[in-house]
Chains A and B, each alone.
Chain A
């Protein structure tokens, strides 16, 4: 297998809060290769958003703390060790990120065109490293329109002049993707990008993202809680629970043969249109407390297969079949 684009190794991250220390990430290993969509799936509080933000150092660092031994390798450098300035250079050009609520990510007092041109201008300046000259405005405009066309906006000149509040949810999300892609990053981190959208618009955006990946050759780390969306878009899937990755597999494998009891429980708890008669099974208990996680395997209080060893030590990710890893003492 060729060199991965992004390699996350043993990442541990904590937050200091009034109520105690939140162990958000407890030793996460994940990699994203070239030209692939890796889905990161989990429920609220599992740490998936924190992980996405951690790659780009976007967790506010006073309350958050990346522990020693955490490695985030990208293009030969450990992002965890970069200075804020160096990290800022990676953002937008090497790795871009889009978020759930386009309304809050877009600045309401600037037009769409202005915001996209900001990232384009940055990229051009970085490419022309020594030369401090600013690129011409028509040059930038052309690239803005190109970025908008890339996200299938039919009338880029008109839309570029609009303000965020004048656009619908789907359009705003496309504009965000345009902004993120304008700098042609090698990796796009998408944190719940379609969760706030209507299902028909979601379908459009997912299709768009897939197409973009093929056209521009950008890999995507797609973070979501929605297993249906993962099934639609991901090549490989990693399932997160309580700050750990508990299972990782190619998408077909994960759905056909889920190995971890949590994954199995999650899949069984979803109502499916194809099988309405099946009574959905519920997982007992609730998502663990991030400040006081259960001992050993975090899932053991809710697991029907829990044994003695599950309570004492946390299982490591083991590769059971080719490409299919699971962290569970059952195996």
Chain B
């Protein structure tokens, strides 16, 4: 693995058990179901690049965000950060690593503790990493607030005194105060109005460039993800179905789901109203995913093979692959 790769995940699996009753720490339950949130996700993120993850609700992208940072332990799979395997790391070590891999959350309201002042909220990762020097902490918080475009009198205020866009800026300041190498952005602008979203996106682009961040940008908004990312990964039912450079995939997608996904995005141009490329049905339930290729019940090009055999990652181009039997014919 080249030293250009910052984070590498292989076969990441996350299953949740639902429908159980717990007693004394053990689980009982006659109707135990398994939610297949992530079913073997693999990719690398290089230094200085933004990887976008796009998918609809239930595809597993939020679980991916949490599991990638080991905020929740994976059921199986490996995660390598800075050339070190981190899935089996003891809690102490993992905590120290956290200052280098951070996350920006979606909800500007609940991602900030309503009872804490902004200066304490932003300082939190510094506390987590064990920084004791109060002057240092103060200095870094001030610097960060300035970087995200907030005035210094924000320091002593409470979250509810700020607008949604400003709260997201606070969240971004918090994520970056420790100067992480790697940033996960979980729907960072989905809760914001369009005009504010533009401000935050531009801010993020600038920060990513200035701080040389590697990031994973997760969103259901395809326009935004494509705008922000160098490469994108398309997720469906807990798996990545296609991954490659943004322009290339936009130009010609290889997986039928990718094609219909992009075709479904409303264009901001009434003269190009969508033709009848329409997709039928809905996302499969993660409890009982379809056999073989998970997209087969809705695929216009479905073949016999698709119903039973899971497609492999097939290379389409350098750095671009898709998991579809159509490509191996």
Contacts and interface: CB of A to CB of B under 8 A. Distances in A.
B201 A271 contact: yes
A283 B220 contact: no
B279 A203 contact: yes
Contacts of B278: 203-204, 207
Contacts of A43: 193-195
A198 B195 contact: no
B269 A274 contact: yes
Interface in B236-277: 246-247, 250, 260-271, 273-274
B193 A225 contact: yes
Interface residues of A, number: 44
Interface stretch (A6-14, A58-66, A108-116, A261-269): A261-269
A30 B250 CA distance: 39
Nearest to B257: A200
A169 B57 CA distance: 10
Contacts of A163: none
B193 A273 contact: no
Interface in A213-256: 225-229, 231-232, 234, 251-252, 255
A3 to B, nearest CB: 26
A36 to B, nearest CB: 14
A202 interface: yes
Contacts of A287: 163, 193, 195-196
B202 interface: yes
A270 interface: yes
B209 to A, nearest CB: 12
Interface residues of B, number: 42
A282 interface: yes
A287 B201 CA distance: 17
Interface stretch (B12-20, B70-78, B222-230): B222-230
Interface in A154-189: 168-171
A204 B271 CA distance: 19
A1 interface: no
Given A231-B269, A279-B202, A270 B261 contact: no
Nearest to B201: A280
A251 B270 contact: yes
A95 B91 CA distance: 60
A274 B267 contact: yes
B198 A280 contact: yes
A202 B220 CA distance: 13
B266 A286 contact: no
A271 B196 CA distance: 13
A5 interface: no
A276 interface: yes
Interface in B27-76: 56-57
B40 to A, nearest CB: 22
Contacts of B308: none
Interface in B208-238: 220, 222-224, 226-228
Contacts of A198: 56-57, 220, 282-283
B198 A282 contact: yes
A44 interface: yes
A175 to B, nearest CB: 14
A199 interface: yes
10 contacts: A168-B283, A199-B222, A201-B56, A207-B274, A228-B267, A231-B267, A276-B227, A280-B227, A282-B202, A283-B195
Given A168-B283, A272-B267, 7 more contacts: A206-B266, A228-B267, A269-B194, A276-B247, A282-B195, A286-B166, A287-B163
Interface of B: 56-57, 163, 165-166, 193-199, 201-202, 220, 222-224, 226-228, 246-247, 250, 260-271, 273-274, 278-279, 282-283
